[in-house]
Amino acid sequence: MCLRFETMKVVSALAAVEHLLTTGAVRRGDTLLDSSSGIYAYALALACHRHGMRCHIVGSTTVDATVRIQLELLGATFEQMEPSADLKLDQKRRVARIQEILAAHPEYHWMRQYHDAVHRLGYRAVADRVRAELGPDTPLTVVGGVGSGVSTGALAGFLHDRGGDVRLAGVQPFGSVTFGSEHVADPEIIIAGIGSSIPFGNVRHELYDTVHWIAFEAALSGSVDLLRRHALFAGLSTGAAHLAARWERSADPRRTVLFLAADTGHRYVDSVFARHAEAVPLDELAPRTVDSRAELALPWSLMSWDGAGAPAAARF
């Protein structure tokens, strides 16, 4: 099963802004500030537009013209990092720029999407919908990108709160510190939005049962397969989640497997879908099962996490 969003982070951005307004942390007319690789920028701009707030985004070099134009029309102020082949450097530059802006404008409210647990709140309603659809007794495995921890982690956390048998499989790119793969480089790209080169403060590592590290080439195959087989046009992280979900389903067919599709495929037309001839049939792909992070290897590795805590480099 697929939990499909046009822009998943609208769920977390709207709930976070509404909570901040209700608690008096911000007021209408205030400026909300954050860094983004694309999806969260659009989500925060929508939330600010709805509630009469100003929005300032420090964007990744990967943010494309489609997102930039929408941000402009929604009234957001957008500044973009200079082109860089190194997305780790891009992310660090964005964080540094946020600090510069806050020094000049201490009245701005930094949303801290990577650290503040307030972004988890929107997934409570999603968890309620999932349980209403599936029933309380359905054994469930949730699969999706770890990201900042407020998508799969928040959803699984709220599902745990409602009882029942819930497992969580996180998807990570190689090169991400979040689950300790920073020593393994992906020659194509770190999949923006599901991994990080810096520690994230709102990832609850203990919620994860397994972790799938999936490289660009395998994620591309998953995205192309989703469109060819199921007519689902979704982003690169969804392709990776699709691949992991198929494996989780084959490992235990008695469980219902629900994977998250965080966004549409429009911003991946050139980088992924135009390269569909490179896609490998998914039946030819299988993970390398490892016992330690030292054994991680491209294009796909799988490890039991079993509720362990954060690796040293990922502690915030």
Higher pLDDT, 151 or 109: 109
CA atoms of 290 and 61, how far apart (whole Å): 33
Mean pLDDT of 49-73: 92
**What is the C-alpha to C-alpha distance for residues 228 and 110, in angstroms, rounded to an integer?**
41
**Which residues, at least 6 apart from 21, have a Cβ–Cβ distance to it below 8 Å?**
27, 28, 51
Lowest mean pLDDT among 45-59, 68-82, 179-193, 245-259: 179-193
Q: Is residue 145 predicted with pLDDT exceeding 90?
A: yes
Residue 264's pLDDT band (cuts 50, 70, 90):
very high
Q: Which of 210, 184, 241, 16 is nearest to 113 (CA)?
A: 16
Query: Model confidence at 149, in pLDDT bands (50, 70, 90)?
Result: low
Task: Compute CA distances 25 → 101, 109, 115, 254, whole Å.
Answer: 19, 9, 17, 46
Instruction: Name residues whose C-beta falls within 8 Å of residue 301's C-beta, 6 or more positions apart in sequence.
Output: 212, 213, 287, 288, 289, 290, 295
In this structure, what DSSP letter does residue 298 have? Answer: S
Partnered with residue 303 across adjacent β-strands are: 211
pLDDT at 121: 95
Euclidean distance between CA atoms 60 and 156, whole angstroms: 28
CB hemisphere CA count around 56 (13 angstroms): 15
Cα 41–chain centre separation? 13
Express as a percent the part of the chain with pLDDT over 90. 78
User: What pLDDT is recorded for position 155?
Assistant: 96
CB 74 within 8 A of CB 43: no
Does the pLDDT at position 157 exceed 90?
Answer: yes
pLDDT at 221: 98
**Top-confidence residue, 188 or 156:** 156
Is 44 within 8 Å of 58 (Cβ atoms)? no
- What is the pLDDT confidence band of residue 82, given thresholds at 50, 70 and 90? confident
pLDDT at 316: 75
User: What is the rounded CA–CA span in Å between residue 248 and residue 245?
Assistant: 5
Q: Which pLDDT score, from 0 to 100, does residue 161 have?
A: 93
Q: Dump pLDDT digits (tens) for 188-237.
A: 876 667 888 888 889 999 999 999 999 999 999 999 999 999 999 999 99
Whether 212 and 247 have beta carbons less than 8 Å apart is answered as yes
